[in-house]
């Protein structure tokens, strides 16, 4: 199937100075327990009059009739806006209140960098995304195996005197 099949991708418009990130909420079952995780969607960017069009795509692509829950974070200078939507069969509905999402800011006031650790889900997905609003992108985690807990974890480096946005999937 063509990657640009309109039933498998969607586009958003960002005006000058705006940057929209899209995350899909994954729901999986592990031993009868629902496991939630968040995953940033990849996109292609093209310049259009007075801004940019971002075309987001799913990997793997959704099956026919499959509903995808999407969270949008739009960053503007000094402002961040959180929206949610549903995507199904090429139709995107935006504007509902994000459910299962905890949104907060992180800022370290000391002079030392700090590491935030979190556990990965059994399918190597994570329940949190930390975004650097200056770069307009996700802080990449370093994955490691914790021998004390016998589980996969990740660590993200948070720099002092800098604000970050945390988006976490919760039940």
Q: What is the mean pLDDT of each run of 10 residues along the chain (171 residues)?
A: 67 94 88 86 94 92 89 92 91 81 84 81 76 89 87 87 89 75
Place of tokens 């459910």: 99
Q: Give the end-to-end CA distance of the chain in Å, rounded to a whole number.
A: 34
Residue 120 · residue 143 · CB < 8 Å: yes
Separation between Cα atoms, residue 32 and residue 19, nearest integer Å: 38
- Angle (CA) 53-57-62 rounded to 5° is 145
Residue ranges of the alpha helices (H) in the chain? none
Encoding tokens for residue 61? Answer: 């692509």
Separation between Cα atoms, residue 130 and residue 141, nearest integer Å: 9
| pLDDT for residue 45 | 95
Residue range 89-101, pLDDT digits in tens: 889 999 867 778 8
Separation between Cα atoms, residue 80 and residue 171, nearest integer Å: 23
| pLDDT for residue 6 | 64
| pLDDT for residue 1 | 41
- Burial of residue 63, with CB atoms counted within 10 A of its CB: 0-12 exposed, 13-18 middle, 19 or more buried: exposed
Q: What are phi and psi of 170, to 5 degrees?
A: -130, 160
């Amino acid at each position: 199937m063509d990657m640009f099949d309109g039933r498998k991708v969607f586009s958003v418009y960002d005006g000058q100075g705006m940057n929209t990130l899209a995350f899909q909420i994954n729901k999986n079952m592990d031993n009868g327990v629902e496991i939630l995780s968040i995953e940033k969607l990849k996109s292609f960017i093209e310049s259009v009059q007075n801004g940019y069009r971002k075309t987001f795509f799913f990997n793997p692509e959704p099956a026919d009739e499959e509903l995808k829950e999407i969270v949008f974070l739009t960053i503007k200078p000094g402002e961040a806006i959180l929206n949610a939507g549903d995507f199904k069969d090429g139709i995107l509905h935006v504007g509902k209140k994000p459910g299962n999402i905890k949104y907060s800011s992180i800022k370290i006031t000391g002079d030392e960098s700090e590491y935030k650790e979190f556990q990965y889900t059994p399918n190597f997905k994570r329940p949190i995304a930390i975004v650097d609003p200056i770069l307009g992108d996700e802080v990449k985690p370093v994955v490691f195996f914790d021998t004390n807990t016998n589980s996969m974890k990740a660590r993200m480096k948070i720099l002092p005197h800098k604000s970050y946005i945390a988006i976490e999937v919760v039940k």
